[in-house]
Structure 1
Amino acid sequence: MRTLKHRVTVRVTALLATLVAVALLGTSNAVAAHRTGHKPTIVLVHGAFADGASWNPVIERLQRRGFSTVAVANPLRGVRSDADALDARLAGIDGPVVLVGHSYGGAVITNVTARSEKVKALVYVAAFAPAQGEAAAQLAGKYPGSTLGETLAPVPLPDGSNDLYIKPSLFRQQFAADVPARQTALMAATQRPIRDAALGEASGTPAWASIPSWFLLAGADKNIPLRAQKFMADRAGSRATVTVKGASHAVAVSRPDTVAKLIARAAG
């Protein structure tokens, strides 16, 4: 009787152990599945004459969709050094990433290298997407329509190069014609300059040659003519190209819903 009771106890204990093991395995698999199902982090790279806050309206909309977002501080010193700074920032982000570049920020995301294995998609928002050997200034002048040069105010630097600002009195008409005047006055006052050498620096091997890309084109852009934007989108094999009619270069500020929608689409 005692032996039978002992056998039953052993069998029950073994059964419970098996059930616990199965439960733990199921939990582990569920956690793994949950992790692999995480949405990618959206990393936003601003361009010249702007800062990370220029993405705020887009960030609000992406966060409402459940995306983690990071607006990096782009140094605006040179394509390669700025891309290296972006690579370093990507090193601290776990999981897949969607890179979004505005204006000169597009040249920077084009040159990601060290962390490019994390990058699952590229989104260009009124942005440069240079091929190897091309410079932003070269692409801006490829087609007529850019009036940026005549609005710039250079500030000499000790190394002989210049920091470039847009003259505050011309900022709205050049950069953000479809943004309220009060807001553009703040944008003009807080604009970050770009070193002129950065606009003339040749790009390296383009990330868009191996990473899927999406493009949003600003229809009334006075910095990068629409024809130049379309040329770059077509050349990169854009998965989807959205043209926003009447949008200024500051399309992420004036049309954040459209920008956020395309980013979410690229993120899958």
Structure 2
Amino acid sequence: MTPTVVLVHGAFGDAAAWIGVISELRSRGIPVIAPPNPLRGLASDAAYLTSVVSQISGPVLLVGHSYGGALITVAGAAENVVGLVYIAAYVLHEGESLGDLERRFPDSSLAGNLKTWTYPLVDGDCAVEVTIDEAAFPAVFAADVAKDVAGVLAAAQRPLAAAAFTEAASAAAWQVKPSWALVAGADRAINPEVQRYGAERAGSVVVELPDASHAVALSEPRQVADLIRDAVRATS
């Protein structure tokens, strides 16, 4: 049975980033959905994704971009998930946080270009969230995307709760399920070494696009879809 592909976007964007990939997959007869990612924290976001997966009849192939990779690592423990695909993503180990993984390697350009905001919590307190400085966004996130499109993406960012950087993964589904990974070799948001390290540790089938930016799903949708199709074939 062909698994349903569930595309999970990362921080600073939304599911529209998958538009080209969705078109490619549907043209090949592969069922696909791209749910919203709340971006409020690893545990709560993974729980939301798990709830989505649990309501899909049949097998599921999880695909995560960027921070979305951390979510599929945890939510991939769901029984009907048959494989994981990481796209320019964090591949965490159980008990590891994004910060833990990133500290193993030099900072990317993202670290020095984050802008902090606050948002209210239901108990009356405030929490911190971050976006990328709008002027730096095209170079950091979408260097191989048309300038006008990158400018729109910069203006339409969805912030990530800062707590997401320190929460530890409660599971690492790649320990028991097959995985694939696409490394964006010119990524300035997540150091490509971070991507390679996580993918190799997970035993993923790895493809690298040396000139791809962090926005590789937008800039190279066919190559992203090709890797997902390979994973679909292997898990059908």
Deviations along 1:179-202, whole A, 9 cap, x unmatched? Answer: 000111111122111000012111
Tell me, what secondary structure is at the counterpart of 1:214? strand
Tell me, what secondary structure is at the counterpart of 1:84? helix
User: Offset of 1:242 from its aligned partner?
Assistant: 0.3
Residue 32 of structure 2 corresponds to 69
CA contact (8 A) 1:140 1:223 kept: no
CA contact (8 A) 2:107 2:191 kept: yes
How many pairs align?
A: 229
- Give structure 1 stretches of 5+ with no counterpart: 1-37
Match of 2:202 among 236, 247, 254: 236
Is 1:217 the counterpart of 2:179? The answer is: no
Within 5 Å, which residues of 2 pair with 1:239-250? 240-250=205-215
Please identify runs of 4+ aligned residues in structure 1 that moved more than 6 A. none
Residue 95 of structure 2 corresponds to 133
Match of 2:159 among 156, 174, 193: 193
Distance of 1:138 and 1:185 partners within structure 2: 31
Distance of 1:146 and 1:138 partners within structure 2: 14
CA contact (8 A) 1:208 1:236 kept: yes
CA contact (8 A) 2:217 2:224 kept: yes
- Cα distance 1:138–1:223, how it changes in 2: closer, same or farther (>3 A)? farther
User: Offset of 1:143 from its aligned partner?
Assistant: 1.1
User: Offset of 1:145 from its aligned partner?
Assistant: 4.5
From the CA coordinates, give the structure whose radius of gyration is larger.
1
Deviations along 1:1-24, whole A, 9 cap, x unmatched? Answer: xxxxxxxxxxxxxxxxxxxxxxxx
Residue 232 of structure 2 corresponds to 267
- Give structure 2 stretches of 5+ with no counterpart: none
Within 5 Å, which residues of 2 pair with 1:1-268? 38-112=1-75, 116-158=78-120, 159-238=125-204, 240-268=205-233
**Aligned partner letter, 2:65:** H
**TM-score, structure 1 as length reference:** 0.83
Tell me, what secondary structure is at the counterpart of 1:223? coil
CA RMSD in angstroms comes to: 1.2
- Report percent identity of matched pairs: 46
CA contact (8 A) 2:63 2:87 kept: yes
Tell me, what secondary structure is at the counterpart of 1:98? strand
**TM-score, structure 2 as length reference:** 0.94
